[in-house]
Chains A and B, each alone.
Chain A
Amino acid sequence: MATAEVTQPALRTRSMGSLRHRIANAPVNFFLAFIGILWLLPAAGLFITSLLPPAVSNAEGWWNVFKKPSELTFDNYSQMFDNEQITHALLVTAQVTIGATVLPVLFAALAGYALAWIDFPGADLVFVTIVGLMVVPIQMALIPMFTIYNKTNLYDTVLGLILFHTAFALPLGIFLLRNFFIGIPRDLMEAARIDGASEWRLFFKVVLPLGLPAIAALAIFQVLFVWNDFLVGFVLAQDNTPIAPTLAGQLRQFGSNLDVIAPASFFSAVIPLTVFALFQRYFVQGLLAGSVK
């Protein structure tokens, strides 16, 4: 296997400044610029659509707006904020996301640490089982949980959604964190233990802080995933659905939907996008650290 070298992330030097490289860069720049525009187009379209009154956005393509910029309006957005269902859904989404981020991080860290640093019989078997569980799709749990939730009054509750998402985050979370924790230098752990720290203190004061990159990665991943979840909220909630299924429920039978869906979709993308933009470094780092050996 690999040698025990300290490898730092390789410095990414810009391509050397030779003229040849610069010329070769131009087509790359053009190509990537083209790709960038292509990638922005759908979201830009959504944004512009959210600024157009329904009569206009239904009749013709949004690019025509450049000929008649006066048609742009913020009406759709102000109506969205008046729409109780949507504002309630955004609140529910926030609650579920926070819960389903904090809990998995905590529980996965606990379990990951135990599997990494506490020797007990069957530890390997447990871990392998958890790795296997990573693959189980949500679809496997929907029917039974639907029945159970109804019987235990967890149906259509924020708590129910949080628990469901937390459970499904655990396999990946434990996998990431356990693999990360295993990399903590032995001496650090030994030193802390010798100091007489109990396992709990060790966990909270040494392990967790050290595990921050992987934890950050897991947290970001959960935020992205849970905030945008559709199927779980669709099936296990009714009046308290998060934002994505609520949008689906806004589809009117006899009316078009764009003036509601466009602004709401755009607005609800702001949070996950911000989270990602701020923390992207941790995200990739943590993922790679945990998953690739």
Chain B
Amino acid sequence: MTSTSVRAEFPDPVRTPPAPPDRSRLRSFTLPMSFLAPAAILLGVWLLYPAVATVVRAFFDDRGEKFVWFENFDRMFSDPVIHTAIKNNVIWILVAPVAVTSLGLLFAVLIERIAWASALKIVLFMPLAISLFAVGVIWRIMYRDDPSQGALNAGLKVAHDSFSQEGVLPAARPSSDALTDRFVFTRQLSPGDTALMGLTAISESAVPAGAVQAADPESKSGAITGVVWRDFSPGGGEPGVVESGELGIPGVTVNLLRGSDTVQSATTENNGSFEFTGVSGSGYQTQIASKTFAQPYKGVNWLGESLITPSIIIAFLWTSVGFAMVVIGAGLSAIPRDVLEAARTDGGSEFQIFRRVTIPLLMPVLTVVFVTQMIGVLKIFDLIYAIAPGSVQNDATTLAFEMWKRSFSGQNKFGFGAAIAAFLMLLFLPYLIYQVRSQRKNA
């Protein structure tokens, strides 16, 4: 049987006690003390004392003068913003570590197969070298709502537009009551009638090229004629009337309806005019085809209140997956070859081997990665600070963020902040116990 754990260079240490020292008792006390002293002082002053002091501080008021029992905790738990913060913390814990570890595992496994693994590792790891604040700024830019500014929505728009086209005049509205909201000319038409279909909310530059002065349609027997034009003159003009200077809109599809059937279709000329010939009877209506107004794809509202937390989590994944992948990859490569060979000769598909042999062997590494992520996720501050716009800060907040906000953003509510910190520490306790336990087991 081969060893079943991952290690580096030294053999598995079997710790036998050193020979009893033949030194004076004093020496055997001062020696370890002198080695431990610097660390002990730093740890005592910077970690142990503050941890206790913060908990104590939580029982005093914001100015630190009055002892107020549990009032700070009461304030904390009755604050709806804190509720959101706790909810977000839960989401982070449930989603982020799993995502990071599984993606890390996936990439680590796949990356073994390619020749340029080293280069890709640097690419994937690089985000860790960038300050989390800068990472936040990068992603903030990418999440911009407008597809002409935000990279993500731009990409989505390109994908979306390959399936459906935005209309020629997406923002246009009827210029008067002559058209309904669905761009149907309200008056029923018979041959010889004209339909004036005016549109506004179109900028001059949005009018398709080649447009000329709109033509006032003339009545023609046996036909229904009309015009689609940009019904706007400086100052507003007179809606519903074709005025000098108003351009027709070419290339628009107009449907001739009877009842609910489209009987004919026509396309407007450069002066916006259209004509349906060979028409008899009555009860016709004209409509500008809806595809003219197909709204441009607006992208996804990444920074809106519903998606802000997932968006920040995505940015976090960008930084952490590289780390997970590198660590898991090293763990993978340390699995002795013979184990896998043995499993292969025993018969079994790659996938079975992966599931039954590789993963269990990797468990220690996976656990380390997973637990580190869980701890790290609870502390995140810079990403939220940099990515969330002011309007959604209360939707993106977490306990760590709220702790900073109440204490150091100018509010100076140190009692409240300490209470949040103390509560946060409580959330860390499970990991603390886990660490201690696993250490005891290994010792």
- Chain A residues near B (Cβ < 8 Å): 1-7, 9-15, 25, 28-29, 31-32, 35-36, 39-43, 45-46, 49, 59-63, 106-108, 110-111, 113-115, 117-120, 123-124, 126-128, 130-146, 163-164, 166-168, 170-171, 174, 180, 182-186, 189-190, 199, 203, 213, 224, 227-231, 234-235, 243-245, 247-248, 257-258, 261-262, 265-266, 268-269, 272-273, 275-277, 280, 283-289, 291-293
Residue pair A137, B424 in contact (C-beta under 8 Å) = yes
- Is B260 located at the chain interface by the 8 A CB criterion? no
Residues of A within 8 A of B256 (CB): none
- Is B382 located at the chain interface by the 8 A CB criterion? yes
- Is B141 located at the chain interface by the 8 A CB criterion? yes
Residue pair A265, B368 in contact (C-beta under 8 Å) = no
Residues of B within 8 A of A166 (CB): 42
Residues of A within 8 A of B120 (CB): 32, 35-36
Q: How far is the CB of B329 from chain A (nearest CB, A)?
A: 8
A261-B134, A280-B125 known; A7+B7 contact, CB < 8 A: yes
Query: Which of these, B42, B150, B381, contacts A61 with CB under 8 Å?
Result: B150
A39-B124, A126-B36 known; A4+B151 contact, CB < 8 A: no
Residue pair B9, A2 in contact (C-beta under 8 Å) = no
Q: How far is the CB of A199 from chain B (nearest CB, A)?
A: 6
A sample of 20 inter-chain contacts (CB < 8 A) reads A10-B334, A29-B113, A35-B120, A42-B135, A42-B151, A117-B18, A118-B32, A132-B435, A136-B51, A139-B424, A141-B46, A143-B414, A167-B47, A168-B46, A170-B43, A186-B16, A189-B18, A230-B133, A277-B122, A293-B12
Residues of B within 8 A of A2 (CB): 3-5, 12
Binary contact readout B34-77 vs A (1 if CB under 8 angstroms, 0 otherwise): 01101110110111111101100100000000000000000000
- Is B436 located at the chain interface by the 8 A CB criterion? yes
Residue pair A143, B417 in contact (C-beta under 8 Å) = yes
A20→B432 CA distance, assembly (Å): 48
A67→B115 CA distance, assembly (Å): 34
Q: How far is the CB of A234 from chain B (nearest CB, A)?
A: 8
Residues of A within 8 A of B122 (CB): 276-277, 280
A249→B330 CA distance, assembly (Å): 39
Residues of A within 8 A of B5 (CB): 2, 292-293
Residues of A within 8 A of B144 (CB): 61
Residue pair A28, B31 in contact (C-beta under 8 Å) = no
Residues of A within 8 A of B6 (CB): 288, 292
Residue pair A108, B39 in contact (C-beta under 8 Å) = yes
A248→B414 CA distance, assembly (Å): 23
One of B91-99, B207-215, B275-283, B402-410 contacting the partner? B402-410
For the A-B complex with A39-B318, A43-B126, A133-B43 known, give 11 more contacts whose Cβ atoms are closer than 8 Å.
Answer: A4-B12, A15-B113, A42-B318, A110-B36, A132-B436, A137-B428, A143-B54, A143-B407, A189-B18, A272-B130, A288-B365
Residues of B within 8 A of A288 (CB): 6-8, 327, 330-331, 334, 365
- Is B400 located at the chain interface by the 8 A CB criterion? yes
Residue pair B54, A291 in contact (C-beta under 8 Å) = no
Residues of A within 8 A of B386 (CB): 248
B315 nearest in chain A by CB position: A42
A213-B9, A244-B131 known; A118+B42 contact, CB < 8 A: no
Residue pair A110, B7 in contact (C-beta under 8 Å) = no
Residue pair A280, B418 in contact (C-beta under 8 Å) = no
Residue pair A224, B129 in contact (C-beta under 8 Å) = yes
Residue pair A111, B35 in contact (C-beta under 8 Å) = yes
One of B104-112, B168-176, B197-205 contacting the partner? B104-112
- Is B29 located at the chain interface by the 8 A CB criterion? yes
Residues of A within 8 A of B440 (CB): 128
Residues facing A in B151-179 (CB within 8 A) are 151, 154
Residue pair B32, A114 in contact (C-beta under 8 Å) = yes
A120 nearest in chain B by CB position: B32
Query: Which of these, B13, B50, B107, B150, contacts A144 with CB under 8 Å?
Result: B50
- Is B26 located at the chain interface by the 8 A CB criterion? no
Residue pair B31, A289 in contact (C-beta under 8 Å) = no
- Chain B residues near A (Cβ < 8 Å): 1-19, 21, 28-29, 31-32, 35-36, 38-40, 42-43, 45-51, 53-54, 57, 107, 110-115, 120-135, 137-139, 141-142, 144, 148-151, 154, 318, 322, 326-327, 329-331, 333-337, 364-365, 368, 375, 378-379, 381-382, 385-386, 400, 403-404, 407-408, 414, 417-418, 420-422, 424-425, 428, 431-432, 435-436, 439-440, 442-443
Residue pair B141, A128 in contact (C-beta under 8 Å) = no
A166→B12 CA distance, assembly (Å): 30
A144-B53, A288-B8 known; A268+B134 contact, CB < 8 A: yes
Q: How far is the CB of A238 from chain B (nearest CB, A)?
A: 12
A186→B154 CA distance, assembly (Å): 62
A135-B375, A167-B43, A293-B5 known; A140+B141 contact, CB < 8 A: no
A138→B376 CA distance, assembly (Å): 11
Residue pair B11, A4 in contact (C-beta under 8 Å) = yes
Residues of A within 8 A of B431 (CB): 135
Residue pair B123, A265 in contact (C-beta under 8 Å) = no
Q: How far is the CB of B428 from chain A (nearest CB, A)?
A: 5
Residues of B within 8 A of A36 (CB): 120, 123-124
Residue pair A144, B57 in contact (C-beta under 8 Å) = yes
A3 nearest in chain B by CB position: B3
Residue pair B421, A140 in contact (C-beta under 8 Å) = yes
Residue pair B333, A132 in contact (C-beta under 8 Å) = no
Residues of B within 8 A of A5 (CB): 2-3, 11-12
Query: Which of these, A3, A128, A167, contacts B436 with CB under 8 Å?
Result: A128
Residue pair B123, A40 in contact (C-beta under 8 Å) = yes
A229→B379 CA distance, assembly (Å): 13
A127→B333 CA distance, assembly (Å): 30
Which 6 residue pairs across A and B have the least CB separation, nearest first?
A: A167-B46, A183-B10, A265-B134, A289-B8, A114-B35, A141-B50
Residue pair A118, B129 in contact (C-beta under 8 Å) = no
Residue pair B2, A228 in contact (C-beta under 8 Å) = no
A229→B421 CA distance, assembly (Å): 19
A118-B31, A141-B54, A243-B131 known; A10+B138 contact, CB < 8 A: no
Q: How far is the CB of B132 from chain A (nearest CB, A)?
A: 6
B418 nearest in chain A by CB position: A143
A32-B111, A136-B428, A288-B365 known; A1+B129 contact, CB < 8 A: no
Residue pair A61, B51 in contact (C-beta under 8 Å) = no
